[in-house]
Amino acid sequence: MAAVDLGTHPGHLARRLQQAHYLLWNTMVSEEITSPQFAVMNALVAESGLDQRTVGERVGLDRSTIAEVISRLGRRGLLTKTRDPEDGRRFLLRLTDDGLRTHRRLTLRTARMNQVLLAPLSPEEQTVFFQLIRRVADAAEGLRNPAEPVAAQG
């Protein structure tokens, strides 16, 4: 049996891209705050006072992962949880002042990291890359319910 060309396997390429992102994140952005934690902080900068489920949906994290990310950010003093006065079962999330400062500092670092990661692509190629990867990522959200086929676009 002949070996397959892994260069034609999106999962293999996505894993390699994730490895590069992880390395750059840890060296250029933060060893303490992870990319998913930053995504949660960013969602709360965009709209403070969201509940945990909504934040998870906005940043593409499942229920158990978002719960762990929020717990870690809370232990670090970067966000607070307050009971929703309209629904006592929900907690509303807000970044603390330290959380806002941390987000601001990391935002500058992520911009530099993205420049390094995307350096092999021209500005036009970067635009196309984002369009394509976003389309695949958005379609992958539909794979969580395999009963609904994902239609090709384009």
Q: What is the DSSP string of 6-54?
A: GGG-HHHHHHHHHHHHHHHIIIII-SSS-HHHHHHHHHHHHSTTEEHHH
Residues of the chain with pLDDT > 90, as a percent, come to 81
Q: How confident is the model at residue 149 (pLDDT cuts 50, 70, 90)?
A: low
Compute the distance between CA of residue 1 and CA of residue 117 in angstroms, rounded to an integer: 36
Under 8 Å between Cβ of 133 and 117: no
> What is the predicted pLDDT for the residue at 151?
55
Q: What type of residue sits at position 132?
A: L
DSSP state of 86: T
Residues of the chain with pLDDT > 70, as a percent, come to 93
Give per-residue pLDDT as tens, 22-41: 999 999 999 999 999 999 99
Q: How confident is the model at residue 141 (pLDDT cuts 50, 70, 90)?
A: confident
> What is the predicted pLDDT for the residue at 147?
55
Query: The whole model's pTM is what?
Result: 0.86
Give per-residue pLDDT as tens, 73-118: 999 999 999 998 988 889 999 999 999 999 999 999 999 999 999 9
Give per-residue pLDDT as tens, 55-79: 999 999 999 999 999 999 999 999 9
Q: How confident is the model at residue 153 (pLDDT cuts 50, 70, 90)?
A: low
